[in-house]
């Protein structure tokens, strides 16, 4: 992984003609993989093609997130906002989908966002801290300084708070 603190989790999937089964959360298995945290909140969003959510973070009560897609596909991005980190300002980006069943652990200190690349997507994530709207910030999704190669051919659909995101140069960072 380009940023060692962001961890890819590929669950052991048991499948046959009836379908499949996998553990989407097992505290012992995740701890063994380096994710030894307590999750306090589960979130679920459904979005249609082109919806871009992010890049969100909290300046206090920073959240670690374990994210996955239960239906559909997204292009997922995590940006390191830890000023003392050797990877400050760099990002990790990958496709998460119901088909590949990948999960991504994004530690506290990162901005996070995604764009839906399928007709719709159900996005699930566990958070290590509660949401505090007064501490939420938004990093500008298309800031050239970030160098994120968002998927071509998809016109992003953004909420007002995402349109008002700030560039990395003026962002509140950790």
- Read off the CATH number of the domain in which 135 is found: 2.60.120.10
Please indicate whether residue 44 is annotated as part of the active site: no
Q: Does 156 map to a domain?
A: yes
Which of 57, 91, 112, 125 is catalytic? The answer is 125
Q: Does 25 map to a domain?
A: yes
What pLDDT is stored for residue 126 in this prediction?
Answer: 98
Q: Does 53 map to a domain?
A: yes
What pLDDT is stored for residue 28 in this prediction?
Answer: 93
Q: Does 105 map to a domain?
A: yes
Q: Does 74 map to a domain?
A: yes
Alpha-carbon distance of 60 to 83, in angstroms, equals 15
Please indicate whether residue 56 is annotated as part of the active site: yes
Q: List, for the chain, all residue ranges whose pLDDT scores fall below the cut of 70.
A: none
* Domain span at 75: 7-170
Q: Does 1 map to a domain?
A: no
- Tell me which residue of 71, 92, 78 sits closest to 139, measured CA to CA: 78
Which of 56, 57, 91, 112 is catalytic? The answer is 56
Q: How many domains does the chain have?
A: 1
What pLDDT is stored for residue 2 in this prediction?
Answer: 85
Alpha-carbon distance of 50 to 57, in angstroms, equals 21
């Amino acid at each position: 992984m380009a940023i060692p603190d962001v961890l890819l989790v590929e669950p052991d999937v048991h499948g046959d003609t009836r379908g499949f089964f996998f553990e989407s959360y097992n505290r012992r298995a995740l701890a063994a993989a380096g994710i030894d945290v307590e999750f306090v909140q589960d979130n679920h969003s459904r979005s249609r093609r082109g919806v871009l959510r992010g890049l969100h973070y909290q300046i206090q009560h920073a959240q670690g997130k374990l994210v996955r897609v239960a239906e559909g596909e997204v292009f997922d991005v995590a940006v390191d906002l830890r000023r003392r980190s050797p990877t400050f300002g760099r990002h990790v980006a990958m496709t998460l989908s119901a088909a590949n069943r990948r999960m991504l652990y994004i530690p506290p200190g990162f901005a996070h966002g995604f764009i839906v690349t399928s007709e719709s997507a159900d996005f699930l994530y566990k958070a290590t801290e509660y949401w505090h709207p007064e501490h939420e910030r938004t990093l500008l999704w298309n800031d050239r300084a970030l160098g994120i190669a968002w998927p071509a051919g998809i016109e992003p659909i953004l909420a007002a708070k995402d349109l008002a995101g700030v560039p990395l140069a003026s962002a509140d960072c950790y």
